[in-house]
């Protein structure tokens, strides 16, 4: 239920933005979701639909921007970018699995659209 806690935060933020701008309704929320964040984009909308019921954000469309995973190789220092989940992650230069993640595990609200 990882998504549920996160979506509750997203809803709170969206409602606050709506309130602060005297909006009638939240129409769209743009989220940046890291590939390695553990958040499954296809679940996000359905979770949101449930928790936003009877709020000003009910019916808002979620737009998900996928943030690729960026790894730094501990062996050769090169950077490897993955934009899809793989069965394994190795350095594309030297093949070493000794990678350090530098980006792609985050989650961010990029924009809240209101009317």
What is the binding site for Zn ion (CB under 5 A)? 73, 75-76, 78, 91, 93-94, 96
- How many distinct helices (H) and strands (E) make up the chain? 2, 6
Q: How far is the CB of 96 from Zn ion (least distance, A)?
A: 5
- Decide whether 47 or 82 has the Cβ nearer to Zn ion: 82
C-beta of 80: minimal distance to Zn ion in Å? 8
Q: How many other CB atoms are found less than 10 A from the CB of residue 6?
A: 19
Of the two residues 53 and 92, which places its CB atom closer to Zn ion in the complex?
92
- Residue 78 Cβ vs Zn ion, minimum distance, rounded to whole Å: 5
**Which backbone phi and psi does 38 adopt, to 5 degrees?**
85, 0
CB nearer to Zn ion: pick between 38 and 95: 95
- Is residue 78 within 8 A of residue 44, CB to CB? The reply is no
| CB 67 to Zn ion: min, Å | 22
Element containing residue 11 per DSSP (H, E): helix 2-20
């Amino acid at each position: 239920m990882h998504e549920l806690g996160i979506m509750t935060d997203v809803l709170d933020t969206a409602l606050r933005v709506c309130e602060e701008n005297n909006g009638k309704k939240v129409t769209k929320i743009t989220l940046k979701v890291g590939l390695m964040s553990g958040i499954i984009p296809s679940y996000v909308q359905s979770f949101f639909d449930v928790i936003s019921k009877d709020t000003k954000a009910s019916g808002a469309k979620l737009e998900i921007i996928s943030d690729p995973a960026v790894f730094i190789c501990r062996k050769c220092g090169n950077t490897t970018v993955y934009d899809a989940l793989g069965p394994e992650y190795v350095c594309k230069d030297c093949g070493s699995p000794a990678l350090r993640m530098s980006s792609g595990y985050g989650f961010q609200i990029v924009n809240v659209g209101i009317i």
